[in-house]
Each structure stands twice: as structure tokens, then as C-alpha cells.
């Protein structure tokens, strides 16, 4: 949320080692900004591979708004190397740990 503009991103990842797939939605069709209804913005798909500390991924944003696919959508390639720093330290017992997505 930024001033009157609101956006919702909702999605999930599914992992079958070493393959990762994801599906996301971005937009907020029930909200209005200056009496104009926010449109659906995009549907996003992700495909990735995990190998040790290295993650490689490709995602594509399929445009759902009135712009349509005239924009060509958006392509993203990611290359992530996870550093294993301080992995031997355990959090305090009263701390709830929520793992972050790897992509």
C-alpha cells in the first residue's frame, strides 16, 4: 500500500527437488483509486532449478490489464547463490522460525 494505491500479490511455490514451480497473481480488482477500479495486473509463472547453494530461475509476467500482451509481458532470469553463514547457530527456543522462499 502506498497512499491510495493498493496491490495484492498472492502465490505459492511447489518444490520437487531440484525443480521449483510457482504461480502468482498481482492486482487488486476490488479496490478503487480516484473512483477507478484497479484492474487485474498480471499472472506470474516461475520455473527454477536448485543445485546445492545455487538457484537458477525464470519467471514470466503475463499481463492481464487493459495493456494486454502488447507490452510483451515481463521476463526475468535469476541466479542466486546462498551463502551458508552462521548456519550452526540455533535461534532461541521462544523464537518462531519461518523459512524464506529460495527464489
Residue-wise pLDDT for 19-77, tens only, equals 999 999 988 766 665 555 556 688 999 999 999 889 999 999 988 877 666 777 889 99
The predicted structure's pLDDT at residue 40:
66
Q: Is residue 60 domain-resident? A: yes
Is there a domain that residue 96 lies in? Answer: no
Cα angle: 2, vertex 40, 47; to 5 degrees: 95
89 located within any domain:
no
Kindly state whether residue 87 falls inside one of the protein's structural domains: no
Instruction: Report the predicted TM-score, pTM, of the whole model to 2 decimal places.
Output: 0.68
Q: How many domains does the chain have?
A: 1
Q: What is the domain range of residue 48? A: 8-81
What pLDDT is attached to residue 46? 95
Q: Residue 12's closest CA among 40, 21, 3?
A: 21
Q: Which segments within the chain are labelled E, that is strand? A: 8-16, 19-27, 32-33, 36-37, 40-51, 54-63, 74-81
Whether a cis peptide bond, with omega within 30° of 0, leads into 18 is yes
Residue 53 inside a domain? The answer is yes
Amino acid at each position: 500500500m502506498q497512499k491510495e494505491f493498493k496491490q495484492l500479490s498472492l502465490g505459492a511455490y511447489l518444490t520437487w527437488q531440484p525443480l521449483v514451480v510457482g504461480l502468482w497473481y498481482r492486482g487488486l480488482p476490488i479496490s478503487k483509486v480516484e473512483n477507478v477500479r484497479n484492474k487485474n495486473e498480471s499472472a506470474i509463472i516461475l520455473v527454477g532449478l536448485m543445485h546445492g547453494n545455487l538457484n537458477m530461475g525464470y519467471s514470466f509476467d503475463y499481463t492481464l490489464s487493459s495493456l494486454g500482451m502488447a507490452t510483451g509481458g515481463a521476463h526475468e532470469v535469476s541466479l542466486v547463490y546462498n551463502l551458508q553463514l552462521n548456519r550452526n547457530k540455533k535461534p532461541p527456543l521462544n523464537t518462531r522460525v519461518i523459512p524464506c522462499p529460495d527464489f
